[in-house]
Structure 1
Amino acid sequence: MTPGDADGPAIRLVRASIGYGDVPVVQGVDLHVARGEAVAVLGSNGSGKTTLVRGVLGLAAVLGGHVEVLGRPVGDRRVRGRVGYVPQRHTVSGAVPATVREVVSVGRLARLGVLRRPGAADRAAVTEAVAAVGLADRLTEPVAALSGGQQRRVLVARALAAEPELLVMDEPTAGVDAASQDALAEVLAAVAATGTTLVVVTHELGALAGVLTRGVVADHGCIAYDGPLAGAGAVVTGLGGGHHHADRHGPTGGLAPPAPGLRGGGR
């Protein structure tokens, strides 16, 4: 941990506008996530929830305001190895065969840097991450041989291998069965118990409702609710669920203006 950045929040957005190119999708948002919190970011397709988190990860442009992660400006190289990310996709199989160990080992690269070769501590971190997601007996198997739910857990292990202080997940339960969702919930509960900050983007909580404690509801690029998770569901239902898709791949169809009465503020 870098001296001087241990006391601030895990995530801090001040009047932040985030988007693609020069077009904002999220506008004027204030948001603080404290160290060790377990937060659900909720909202319909196109609400801005994914863009909000992509801005925190440095994957979408910060067009205005301020975004800080683990006490440093977003994109700071000193933070890169301290943030784990599980992207929004269902599987990790591809054209090139790879074992579970090989895929999860990629998670150590940010910690290693360019010159250092993996050592005993890196190999141990990979083994522990695979065990944490319940796949210790599959370490040497090709990921293509695993079920979709197991492949999602491999992605989680890849993120955990970096021993992150902040773990961000985008729709981790999408497309997997109830048993896999339950297994993931157990993993995340154990991760949260270690003090790791969790931020989970999702349109449905499912099994994760018992792990996450705070809900942030995005709507039309603003924050409509920020508080206890128990109150978030009613807000999502009350918003009615929009169907535009500017949030998924950038502003392809034009973003509707913020709904009347909604602010880009936090609590």
Structure 2
Amino acid sequence: MIALDVDNVSVAYGGGRLSLRQASLKVGSGSVCGLVGMNGAGKSTLFKTVMGFLPPLRGSVQVFGQPVIRAQKAGLIAYVPQSEDVDWNFPVSVREVVMMGRQGKMGWLRRPSAADETLVDESLERVGMRALAGRQIGELSGGQRKRAFLARALAQEGRLLLLDEPFGGVDVGTSEAIIALMGELRREGRSMLVSTHDLGTLETFCDEVALIAERTVLLYGPTGQVLTAENLAHTFGGRSPLHAPRTTHQEDRP
């Protein structure tokens, strides 16, 4: 099954210049796909489109065979934002942040059930943050903040996880813990799209890699085939590659 299918998508903010043009990629169920490119290449726009925040002008996005809005309502997508996208001065505890991941599962009164409380505890424990559950989110270190939002994504129980720069501003120990957690989630059948500048670790956790430049996906495919010096030079030099290996998923085979 295809977890994420982005098909020839173009997006523009406010109907102006294209922020994403004719972008296509697929992430298989239970796979981890790294998204690599320079700042301003279109990574954040792609994430916002997959989240349903930006509607495509052209093309389509499906999550487990469903349109994005339906997938969101079904709780299929969980998102871990970049640190700069969060207001760290907002007065909220770590536990409250993680409980936000359960809101879509709560009843109309928005009161957490015993099952919600248990899942939040388990999610905090899994990222090593249970002892800091009562701490204000703004009092945490960069690595602790990232762990808190990972716990929120776990509590949400999304089948597709979008991780936007999960290694930014964290120490080596936290990076290793995040990679280990992603391995566990992959073995559990979760699918992930991970935006990162950390090229050195891609081969340790990514099944596939998508290279993005000039507001489009240049190529995507198996990590070993995509991460070549030539392809990276094209990506970070802003030139389109001549050869673009594409992942062939089972559904695409004749």
TM-score after normalising by structure 2: 0.85
- TM-superposed deviation, 1:131: 0.9
How many percent of aligned residue pairs carry the same amino acid? 33
Compare the two structures and name the one with the higher helix fraction: 2
Q: Call closer, same or farther: CA 1:238–1:21 in 2, change over 3 Å.
A: same
Q: Call closer, same or farther: CA 1:133–1:217 in 2, change over 3 Å.
A: same
Confirm whether residue 184 of structure 1 aligns to residue 216 of structure 2: no
Q: Call closer, same or farther: CA 1:130–1:31 in 2, change over 3 Å.
A: same
Q: 2-side partners of 1:94 and 1:67: how far apart?
A: 31
Aligned to 1:20: 13
Structure 2 spans left out of the alignment, 5+ residues: 248-254
For 1:10, which of 3, 7, 18 is the aligned residue?
A: 3
- TM-superposed deviation, 1:207: 4.3
Please list the CA deviations of residues 181-238 of structure 1 after superposition, one character each: whole Å capped at 9, or x if unmatched: 1121122111222111111011224445422211011121222221121233325532
SS for the counterpart of 2:78 is strand
Letter in 1 for 2:114: A
Letter in 2 for 1:13: V
SS for the counterpart of 2:82 is coil
Alignment of 1:27-176 (within 5 A): 27-76=21-70, 79-89=73-83, 94-112=88-106, 114-176=108-170
The CA RMSD over aligned residues, in Å, is: 2.6
Q: Call closer, same or farther: CA 1:78–1:219 in 2, change over 3 Å.
A: closer
SS for the counterpart of 1:10 is strand
Q: 2-side partners of 1:237 and 1:30: how far apart?
A: 18
Q: Call closer, same or farther: CA 1:236–1:152 in 2, change over 3 Å.
A: farther
Structure 1 spans left out of the alignment, 5+ residues: 1-7, 244-257
- TM-superposed deviation, 1:93: 6.6
Aligned to 2:233: 238
Aligned to 2:250: none
Q: Call closer, same or farther: CA 1:171–1:260 in 2, change over 3 Å.
A: closer
Letter in 1 for 2:35: V
Give the length in aligned residue pairs.
245
Q: Call closer, same or farther: CA 1:177–1:27 in 2, change over 3 Å.
A: same
Q: Call closer, same or farther: CA 1:130–1:180 in 2, change over 3 Å.
A: same
Aligned to 1:248: none
Q: Call closer, same or farther: CA 1:218–1:239 in 2, change over 3 Å.
A: same
Letter in 2 for 1:194: E
For 2:219, which of 214, 219, 225 is the aligned residue?
A: 225
Q: Call closer, same or farther: CA 1:31–1:266 in 2, change over 3 Å.
A: farther
Q: 2-side partners of 1:180 and 1:225: how far apart?
A: 30
Aligned to 1:246: none
Q: 2-side partners of 1:186 and 1:90: how far apart?
A: 24
Q: 2-side partners of 1:67 and 1:92: how far apart?
A: 25
SS for the counterpart of 2:116 is helix
2:218–2:241 contact (8 Å) kept in structure 1: no
Letter in 1 for 2:234: L
Letter in 2 for 1:126: V
TM-score after normalising by structure 1: 0.81
Letter in 1 for 2:97: V
